[in-house]
Amino acid sequence: MTFGRNLLRICVALTFVFFVATLYAAEGNNDADKKVSVPEFSIGQGMQSTIKEQAENVSEEFAKQARSLFDSSPLGWNMKTLHDIYTWTLELPSLLPELAQKIMEQSRILGMIGSLVVFTFIAAVIYSLIGRKKVLKRIEGIVRPFEQKLPPKLFPYFLSLLKVVVAALIPLLLLGAFSLINAFMTYPAAWFQLTGRLLGLWVVGALITGLLRESLTQNLFPRTARYGRKIFNLARLTLFYVLAGFIVIWSAEVFDIRPDIVALLKFVIAVSIVVVLFLLHLMKKVFMSLLPDLPYGPYRIFIRQLSRFYYPFIILSFIVALLWCIGYHQLGRVVLLKTWYTGGAYVLIMLVYHNLTVRLEKWHAGKDRSDDTVRLLHKSLKSLLLYATVTAATGIVLNLLGLLGPLVQIISFPVVKIGTNDITLWIIIKAILILLAFVFSTRLLQAYLDYRVYPSFGIDPGLGYAVNISLKYSLLLIGFLISLKAVGIDLRFLLVFAGAAGIGIGLGLQHMAANIISGFTIIFGGRIRKGDWIEVENTLGIVTDIDLASSRVRNRDDIEYLIPNSNLISNTIVNYSLTSPMIRIELLVGVSYNADPRVVEKIMLAAASAEPLVADHQPPVVRFVEYADNSINFELLFWIDVRETPRRKVRSALYFAIFDELKKAGIEIPYPQRDLHIRSSDLKQLT
């Protein structure tokens, strides 16, 4: 029902836009020299053949890309490379004196400053390996006093981040010093330039190792408590192996080793890394334990399918990775990157959505849930978050899988033709997405204004509601026009729909048009506002919402009435909130003729004065009403705030109190009596 009501609102807003466009066009027609031509409107022809043609084009493109997946690149080495390496290995002992001579020459070229740089580098490496724990303990002791100044949940993360930075501090300082020296002194030696690259690699390795250590071994996350230490040890070993491979390859490139030998080294290291990662990922329980447990149906289906096909997926990834190593780079990039990146992006999006939802629910739990402004703000934030998550997840996943472009191509067939513009299904989807973004953002803005801004500035709820309605339809109008402008549609086509809407109103929508016009009159007239207590057709309630077609009134029994706006305009209503919510209530009490009227008056006034539901707007009054058949009747007149106090509730409380006081005073509340007189003659006849 909520979806239908929202759809009706959007349709009404669009109709209003059509009216505005019609009026604008009519105003332009007043100029005799200017003639506005309405674009031609027609349904797309040959839609089925167009879809078929687009599908065939996409199919051909897929086939072309599939064939390109199996195009291999040359490895860059052959059997001769292996033979040369074997020969060089046998001749290595005889080459050692020549190698030592080159090292001595480089040392003489280096001089004292260079030797000092190398010594400092070696000392820093040794100190980073030996003295790291001492430095970390000292840093932790320094920041401990700040623990009281930070939130308890935030301090462990702050401390872990500080440890990561400290662990990478030495290589960062060395890299900065190297960059400074390299800027002031040009030293083209191959090993010197290699040193700079190795320092950068050291920084990256230190940062990654620190992040892995803190995130997996410090119990910062519940999912890492069981297998965190084991995963860290394996991941650190794998990272060290990968970095060592980079060092070997860079060293070979810097010292001008033959390209085919460098290519062979890359091949061997790449294959060995693939094997190590494959063996590492065979531990299914370990890696599946890292995936968060989130209470969402699509995510749970994803986790179940991943657990079910985990080993086939890992084996397939291993085979594709090996194919990538032997030259099928395109196949490796498409299969490995798209599948792994897509799965990681999906898990990350769901994790972000879950964390934001949890924070939103915690905020909502700490607020008064009976407050309508809190409830609307919570609902608006949740709707916008869900819309953004679904849109982002769909777009990112389709794009990573390479399906977004072909899908757009398939649905880019003309549905209608307006003037020279072909309106395709993809254009319609984009316009809807933009318009929905404006709808959800407008709701959030309205809810935030009601929750925070209007109470802060003391703005009357009725005035705030009128401002919200103005913002709502203005932003919807802007969003609608922007969505049309974004897809390149000539806005003159609104004239076609405006004419159709005018004909529909003239034929059978007069009542709806009357309600809409009455709705604008109520919203901007100020006579009836949201939050007002009104009485219409013997129904007393609070106005909870004013739509274009009808208004909602909720009585004290939580029953909602939908009242057409035209009825509120044409009928007589009582608005208790228009000037003052104070109304006077009468309470009738009858007592015995034996009672003292002055005593009864004092009892009734005392009961009214002691009752907290009775307002002190004016003092209560007791009136002697009449001499009735069986009692003398009094009327108690008192005031209440009709918005806060139900009439039946205060009457009941006063009846209880007056009854107790009359009973204590010995005053009788009579009931109807009849005296029966029987004549003696009638009695004889009966006997």
Q: Tell me what pLDDT residue 20 has.
A: 40
**Is 665 buried (19+), middle (13-18) or exposed (0-12) by CB count in 10 A?**
middle
* Res 500: pLDDT: 55
Q: What pLDDT score does 602 carry?
A: 92
pLDDT tens string 122-156: 666 666 555 666 666 776 676 666 666 667 677 77
- Residue-wise pLDDT for 299-311, tens only, equals 999 999 988 999 9
Q: How far apart (Å, rounded) are the C-alpha atoms in residues 91 and 19? A: 92
**Cα 20 to Cα 598: distance, rounded to the nearest angstrom:** 70
Identity of the amino acid at 23: L
**pLDDT value, residue 376:** 87
Tokens of 284: 């299914």
The pTM assigned to this predicted structure is 0.64
Cβ contact 634:591 at 8 Å: yes
Alpha-carbon gap, residue 645 to 651, rounded angstroms = 10
- Please say if the pLDDT value at position 679 is more than 80: no
Over range 57-65, report the average pLDDT.
67
* Domains assigned to the chain: 110-130+168-288 (no CATH), 582-664 (3.30.70.100)
Single-letter amino acid code for the residue at 152 = P
Sort 529 into a burial class: Cβ within 10 Å, 0-12 / 13-18 / 19+: buried
Q: What percent of the chain has pLDDT over 90?
A: 8
**CA terminus-to-terminus distance, the chain:** 77
Q: How far apart are CA 542 and CA 558, in angstroms?
A: 10
How many other CB atoms are there within 10 angstroms of residue 209's CB atom? Answer: 19
Question: With contact defined as beta carbons under 8 Å apart, do 472 and 442 qualify?
Answer: yes
SS3 annotation, 189-200: CHHHHHHHHHHH
Cβ contact 72:327 at 8 Å: yes
Q: Does residue 337 surpass a pLDDT of 70?
A: yes
**618-630 confidence digits (pLDDT tens):** 889 999 999 988 8
Cβ neighbourhood burial of 44 (10 Å; 0-12, 13-18, 19+): middle
DSSP state of 449: I
pLDDT tier, 353 (very low <50, low <70, confident <90, very high otherwise):
very high
Among 93, 164, 100, 179, which Cα is nearest to 132's? 164
Residue 395 CB contacts under 8 Å (≥ 6 apart), including other chains: 404
Instruction: Kindly give, in sequence order, each residue whose CB lies less than 8 Å from that of residue 429, ignoring residues fewer than 6 positions away.
Output: 411
Q: What percent of the chain has pLDDT over 70?
A: 68
Would you call 441 helix, strand, or coil by DSSP? helix
pLDDT tens readout for residues 637-665:
998 888 788 888 899 999 999 999 988 88
pLDDT at residue 7 greater than cutoff 50? no
**CA-to-CA distance for 624 and 637, rounded, in angstroms?**
11
CA distances to 193, 282, 334, 604 from 320, in Å: 35, 16, 10, 93
Report which DSSP code applies to 125: H
Mark 384-412 as b/e (b = at least 16 C-beta within 10 Å): bbebebeeebeebbbebeeeeebebebbe
pLDDT band of residue 19 (cuts 50, 70, 90) is very low
Please give the average per-residue pLDDT across 209-223, as a whole number: 79
Q: 310-325 vs 297-308: helix axis angle to the nearest 10?
A: 70
Closest CA to 178 of 117, 262, 237, 265: 117
Name the band, by pLDDT with cuts 50, 70 and 90, for residue 11. Answer: very low
pLDDT at 289: 81
Q: What's the pLDDT at 470? A: 73
Q: Which helix (H) or strand (E) holds 333?
A: none
Calculate mean pLDDT across residues 332-351.
85
Q: Scanning the structure block, which residue is given the tokens 């007043």?
A: 30
Instruction: List alpha helices for 30-78, DSSP H.
Output: 47-68
CA angle, 158 then 164 then 170, to 5°: 135
Q: Which residue has tokens 């447990």? A: 293
506-531, pLDDT tens digit by residue? Answer: 555 566 666 666 666 666 666 777 77
Q: Mean per-residue pLDDT for 368-385?
A: 86
What residues form DSSP beta bridges with 585? 638
Confidence of residue 481 (pLDDT cuts 50, 70, 90): confident
Q: Report which listed range, 403-412, 498-507, 654-663, 676-685, is most confident.
A: 654-663
**Which of the residue ranges 46-50, 88-92, 448-452, 470-474 has the most confident prediction, judged by mean pLDDT?**
448-452
Taking only the tens place, the pLDDT of each residue in 357-374 is 998 998 888 888 777 788
Residues 165-201: tens digit of each pLDDT: 777 777 777 777 777 777 776 666 666 677 778 888 8
Inform me whether the pLDDT recorded for 356 exceeds 80.
Answer: yes
Q: What is the pLDDT of residue 104?
A: 65
Please report how the helices 310-325 and 259-281 are oriented relative to each other, as an axis angle in degrees rounded to 10: 180
User: How high is the pLDDT of residue 6?
Assistant: 47
Are 605 and 571 a contacting pair, CB within 8 Å? no
